[in-house]
A and B are shown apart, each in its own frame.
Chain A
């Protein structure tokens, strides 16, 4: 079980770190030029992706775009490092619930919008695939957040 938890932590933490870094670094990918980090991070496009969901009040879209990637980075980083494991899993579970609700909202309204899940590197539209991926991540994060403490886990978590 310890092994399973470790693997789950690395997967979820890894996904969150990558998704945060591509948003913060405004990573662009094109068939012609491959993957590119922009020299100057620019959140304009990600803020637009957030706005397209029409979920946060209009004025708050920028605030979401400014803060969300760093919360993802911190939570994902802590999960990978194994510090504050349960707390970071709780944060990630909460974020996944929000993401799922936003995607569900967009699908219910028939918005044909860019997912924004992995910032601008990911040109995918919002759709059932994104929904399914998020469900899997939610299940994994929720497991880490609410798993019962057993003796093996206790010993590794005494510093929490």
Chain B
């Protein structure tokens, strides 16, 4: 038993050492310790009030970053589906309606959901500088009793 645990420890230590060595040699090495998280910038997020106003004015595009199945189950009325996990497959359908200056609000669900952050960053890389996110968008929106739709139509 003691022998087994010793060997197990060797596996863990050797594996960790290999990982550290591989990372040290990689041209895209990541820092050994995670740098502190940058606090979310105000310019990245949009409040529910502002989102509501933009939705009412019809001047902003709402993009749902969640999986297609989640979109079908329910989404902000008028929102288009652009799952970040399948971005390359869905973007060509969305691209024609967007311009670089379009006001875009992306959302997913949950305080810690990373999908909308990733979608926003991806869109900004593509030049859509007015892309912002509604934190915890789906829950915030539908618990506020605002208009939602289900199915594959916006």
A: residues with CB less than 8 A from B are 24, 30-33, 40-44, 47-48, 51-52, 54, 58-63, 65-75, 78, 84, 86-88, 90-91, 94, 109-114, 123, 125, 160
| B150: interface (CB < 8 Å) | no
Q: A52-B114, A66-B19, A67-B19 are in contact. Are A74 and B14 (CB under 8 A)?
A: yes
B22 and A44 contact, CB distance less than 8 A: no
Residues in B neighbouring A42, C-beta threshold 8 A: 28
B89 and A54 contact, CB distance less than 8 A: no
What is the predominant secondary structure among interface residues of chain B facing chain A?
helix
Closest residue of chain B to A31 (Cβ to Cβ) is B89
Roughly how many angstroms separate A95 CA and B11 CA in the complex, as a whole number? 12
Roughly how many angstroms separate A24 CA and B131 CA in the complex, as a whole number? 32
A74 and B15 contact, CB distance less than 8 A: yes
Closest residue of chain A to B118 (Cβ to Cβ) is A48
Q: How many B residues touch the partner, as a band? A: 35 or more
A125 and B67 contact, CB distance less than 8 A: yes
A40 and B16 contact, CB distance less than 8 A: no
Residues in B neighbouring A125, C-beta threshold 8 A: 67
B26 and A70 contact, CB distance less than 8 A: no
Roughly how many angstroms separate A58 CA and B38 CA in the complex, as a whole number? 12
A59 and B33 contact, CB distance less than 8 A: yes
Residues in A neighbouring B115, C-beta threshold 8 A: 112
A66 and B32 contact, CB distance less than 8 A: yes
| B27: interface (CB < 8 Å) | yes
Residues in B neighbouring A111, C-beta threshold 8 A: 110, 112-113
| B20: interface (CB < 8 Å) | yes
